Amino acid sequence: MNEPSNQVPHASVIPDRLRSMEKHLEESAEVTRRLAHEFGNRMTVVLGFSELALQSSGSLVPTSGYIREVLESAYRTSNWLKRLHFFSRRKSQKELAPTSISGEVESYLETWKGAGVPLSIQVEPNLPPVACDQESFRELFHALLDNAIKACKGNGGAISVQLRGRTLGETERQQLLGFPAAGSFLEITVEDSGAGVAPELRDVLFAQPFFSGMPGQIGLGLAEVYGIVRRYHGGISWNFDVTKRTTFTILLPFSQNI
């Protein structure tokens, strides 16, 4: 049995690996899109009739309690289906508008300061806007930050977030999942010094969209990130070092490049 390799593959091998990974993700997204659509239609019926049944039940006990349990489960399922849509959509359902991502990130980080994990942020001044819709960007950033916080909790780790401008050339763009066009990008880096990622799990983080190395998790977070970045014509890279430091880097094109 071959042991997982910790060596970085030669640069000429990386594009082939990424294309294979992207092809698998696209196939998974197509299947997910169809399933989410069908289940979504049925869940709309369940929610609608459950709400009507709850209204009709009045104060009947225990009937109203049973219906509330059905509704609560249906709402959770609907939220999960929403996450599947974020992964599987080819295009954003909302109009992309020039957005100051640095302000969005700084504001969002304020809401996470009570998570019990040290957070720091560095932002390059005067960054141009990125064409995005705020809802899906928040989902993207939430998924990255949520993974980092879970990795750090109980391990004494810390998280740093960095935003800066970056120019991609032809060679650099081929080292990114998503294969964005060469040009000017906003680079968002989320780095944590938490539990790290086991070597045997590193090659399947994106290759298997519903895989998670965390117990009790459905593994949708990074799949969502890929789906959103793909719609923004951006790219993703990731790095794991021997000190258990994990880094995810997202590149989104500045709005004048789209």
Same-domain pairing of 204 and 115: yes
Report, as an integer, the average pLDDT of 254-258: 74
Cβ–Cβ < 8 Å for 249, 237: yes
At which of 88, 105, 120 does a domain end? 88
Same-domain pairing of 168 and 120: yes
Domain holding 149, by residue range, is 97-257
> What's the number of domains the chain is made of?
2
Across the chain, mean pLDDT equals: 77
Assigned domain for 150 exists: yes
Assigned domain for 3 exists: no
Report, as an integer, the average pLDDT of 127-155: 86
Q: In this predicted structure, what is the pLDDT of residue 190?
A: 94
Query: Is the pLDDT at 5 greater than 50, yes or no?
Result: no
Q: In this predicted structure, what is the pLDDT of residue 11?
A: 39
Residue 158 maps to which CATH number?
A: 3.30.565.10
Q: In this predicted structure, what is the pLDDT of residue 127?
A: 93
Select from 74, 200, 225 the least CA-distant residue to 138: 225
- More confident call, 139 vs 249: 249
Query: Is the pLDDT at 164 greater than 70, yes or no?
Result: yes
Query: Is the pLDDT at 38 greater than 70, yes or no?
Result: yes
Same-domain pairing of 52 and 117: no
SS3 218: coil
Assigned domain for 1 exists: no
Report, as an integer, the average pLDDT of 217-223: 58
Query: Is the pLDDT at 101 greater than 50, yes or no?
Result: yes
Measured between alpha carbons, how far is 49 from 168 in angstroms, rounded to an integer?
A: 52
Query: Is the pLDDT at 210 greater than 50, yes or no?
Result: yes
Cβ–Cβ < 8 Å for 254, 128: yes
Measured between alpha carbons, how far is 96 from 178 in angstroms, rounded to an integer?
A: 19
Measured between alpha carbons, how far is 201 from 97 in angstroms, rounded to an integer?
A: 36
Q: In this predicted structure, what is the pLDDT of residue 12?
A: 39
At which of 40, 60, 88 does a domain end? 88
Specify the range with the lowest mean pLDDT, choosing from 59-63, 104-108, 110-114, 249-253: 59-63
Same-domain pairing of 35 and 139: no
Tell me the pLDDT band of 3, cut-offs 50, 70 and 90. very low
- More confident call, 127 vs 25: 127
Same-domain pairing of 72 and 119: no
